[in-house]
Structure 1
Amino acid sequence: MFDAHPSIVIPPECQFIINLKKKYLGLDLWTAKTVSSFIADLKKQGLIESWKIDWSKLRDTLLSNVYRVDYALACKLVYLYSFSCFEKGNPLAIGDKNPGYSFYSKELQEIFPEAKFIYLCRDYRENHISIVRAGFEMSIIAATC
């Protein structure tokens, strides 16, 4: 629902930030080779295809800013180049609704010190029903709730 706002970008779920952090966080200099590697690794991430990223625009933007790029900026650009069915003006906020990131808030805060976290408490019964309907095989009901 947040993504419907013209100034907010929140693509579908994909946990690439944590998955690629070890390889790309802390690189002092991004080169054309780094950009190509980053995009190749990004394309291997589960569910990233649902983002419908314009890969050539992302690559061009990263390459044109290669001397200013760091991991946080590269990740933000990925979000900004994701597709939304809603018209976007000038995005003022980037968000992520990935439940898996709830386990990594400290690491995410290190990458994005300016980040704010919003905790939404969902009815545990509805959460369990949603997980079952999605076909996730989680045998411990308490874990899904």
Structure 2
Amino acid sequence: MDKEESPIFVVGMPRSGTTLISAMLTSHPNIAISPETHFLSEWIRRYRRLDVRREKDFNKFWGRFGDSSFFRNLQLDAETVRNQILSSGDHDYKDIFSTILKLYAEKKNKRRWGEKTPTHYAHIHQLLEWHPESRIVYMVRDPRAVVASRLDMSEKYPLSWWHPRTVEDISFQWRNSINILNYWANDNRIYPIIYEKLIQDTLSELRRLCGFIGEEYSLSMLSYTEVAKDLVANDPWKESVFKPIIADSIDKWRLKLLTDEISTIEYVSRKGMNQFMYQMVGKPHGFFKKFRLNIANTIRIVKMKLIKRTSLL
């Protein structure tokens, strides 16, 4: 495996520890994981009708992306990156994405490049099609902790936090993320990390992770708070990465969620929770509440299919 052509992509539910593991990886002497670009989940989706191999379409796309906060967080010169992309000749979306990340790693004096956008878990097929030798780190966290954290973020940063904001929506999203992970279960390029295990036994988990990506473990991975500044950028909800790892924080959701909220999360997420051995503690919902949740999920699936079909027209 050519490590320089084996990028590392970090994905998983938002608030599942993707920033923490990215900071640890970036603290490795050979690895640079860039801040979030949302390149596949937002930018390609938004400009899917453009053929960026044509000069006019490329200029339109680059004018928007190069002036975005996502690009500015990389602290790269837009004109330099643009010229580098154009010099590659047939500059499609893969070339744009890869060139940006390679230049980011070059700026950090690292030979191994990568990127962290949590919701790119829904675009693993594209990442692997573009880079068959890539390694994908897939973070998994207790859905109750994910929901509690995201509700907290929605309350603290209502104008900035744009992810789903209700207990039901977040729970269904968590379930979908586990379904996607299971779809790739037999692909040895995908590596799930359980957030709680990372917190409780950090050294062992990092050693295993390094084995997966083909790098020697480095003690520098435990000194990640300095490099975390680049990953946090202007997102204050990620600042917990600067705090010491405390195992007691794993169960903080118990103090934040209502009894009915816990029951809803556990019902929606029950299969994934059993798979990853998260213990149920809530009181089971009655028939009518379960029925309502099942109907809500059916409506949600139909809406998603309609949106996807419409976007292809």
With the length of structure 1 as denominator, give the TM-score of the two structures: 0.70
Separation in structure 2 between the aligned mates of residue 134 and residue 49 of structure 1, nearest angstrom: 23
Describe the SS at the equivalent of 2:44.
helix
Amino acid at match of 1:116: R
The correspondence for 1:57, drawn from 68, 80, 86, is 80
Deviations 1:58-85 (A, max 9, x none): 01212333x253332221112234489x
Runs of 5+ in structure 2 lacking a partner?
1-22, 155-160, 175-313
The correspondence for 2:44, drawn from 17, 20, 39, is 20
Separation in structure 1 between the aligned mates of residue 57 and residue 37 of structure 2, nearest angstrom: 21
Amino acid at match of 1:100: T
The correspondence for 1:140, drawn from 164, 167, 190, is 167
Contact 2:151 2:166 (8 Å CA) reproduced: no
| RMSD across aligned positions (CA) | 3.2
1:32/1:20 Cα in 2 relative to 1: closer, same or farther (>3 Å)?
same
Amino acid at match of 1:131: R
Contact 1:14 1:48 (8 Å CA) reproduced: yes
Contact 2:40 2:120 (8 Å CA) reproduced: no
Separation in structure 2 between the aligned mates of residue 7 and residue 38 of structure 1, nearest angstrom: 31
2:115 is aligned with 1:77: no
Amino acid at match of 2:96: A
Higher strand share: 2
Amino acid at match of 1:139: T
Partner of 2:146: 127
Count of residues in Structure 1 that have an aligned counterpart in Structure 2: 138
1:93/1:81 Cα in 2 relative to 1: closer, same or farther (>3 Å)?
closer
Deviations 1:5-58 (A, max 9, x none): 342222222312343263467x6xx35545423311323656443233320210
The correspondence for 1:7, drawn from 30, 47, 72, is 30
Separation in structure 1 between the aligned mates of residue 71 and residue 172 of structure 2, nearest angstrom: 26
Separation in structure 2 between the aligned mates of residue 78 and residue 108 of structure 1, nearest angstrom: 15
Q: CA deviation at 1:116?
A: 2.3
Partner of 2:60: 37
Separation in structure 2 between the aligned mates of residue 35 and residue 50 of structure 1, nearest angstrom: 21
Separation in structure 2 between the aligned mates of residue 9 and residue 24 of structure 1, nearest angstrom: 30
Higher helix share: 2
Highest RCO, 1 vs 2 (Cα 8 Å, sep ≥ 6) = 1
2:136 is aligned with 1:109: no
Contact 1:58 1:81 (8 Å CA) reproduced: yes
Runs of 5+ in structure 1 lacking a partner?
none
Q: CA deviation at 1:118?
A: 1.8
With the length of structure 2 as denominator, give the TM-score of the two structures: 0.37
Q: Which of the two has higher C-alpha Rg?
A: 2
Describe the SS at the equivalent of 1:89.
coil
Separation in structure 1 between the aligned mates of residue 76 and residue 49 of structure 2, nearest angstrom: 21
Describe the SS at the equivalent of 2:144.
helix
Describe the SS at the equivalent of 2:140.
coil
